[in-house]
Structure 1
């Protein structure tokens, strides 16, 4: 069940709601059902073998490989 963000067209109240397939969402402030669905961000969580964007260049640099840290097979 996704969580959607809405803006009420009647009172301009903005809110989020967990919506079931058959549920018609209504504004918790004024109970109107004329709502605008808002674009929201999302998060991806969990563990796995996804890409690492931490900025770590890898490698310890202790093997002396002239190509620099992360170039040798000791990584």
Structure 2
């Protein structure tokens, strides 16, 4: 299910929604179907960085405590 962005022509509300191919978007504010679909932007993949060591749950990684890693 892709995420679509819309602006309602009736009330001006801007929103995003998940839709199946056969569904019609409805404004969550006024329930109108008079909508303009907005251009969806695709996020650029992040560059690979250094590997982050896995925490063993004993708090030895320096970033957490045993109660948070367990």
TM-score class, shorter: 0.5 to 0.7
Name the CA distance, whole Å, in 2 between partners of 1:23 and 1:44: 28
1:3 — aligned with what? 3
Unaligned 5+ segments in structure 2 are: 50-70
The equivalent of 2:33 in structure 1 is 33
The root-mean-square deviation of aligned C-alpha atoms, in Å, is: 2.4
Q: Where do 5+ consecutive residues of structure 1 fail to align?
A: 47-51, 55-75
Asked which structure has the greater CA Rg, the reply is: 1
Distance 2:7 2:22 in 1: 19
- Normalized against structure 1, the TM-score is what? 0.57
Q: How many residues were matched structurally? A: 49
Bigger mean CA offset, 13-22 vs 37-46: 37-46
Shift of 1:42: 1.2
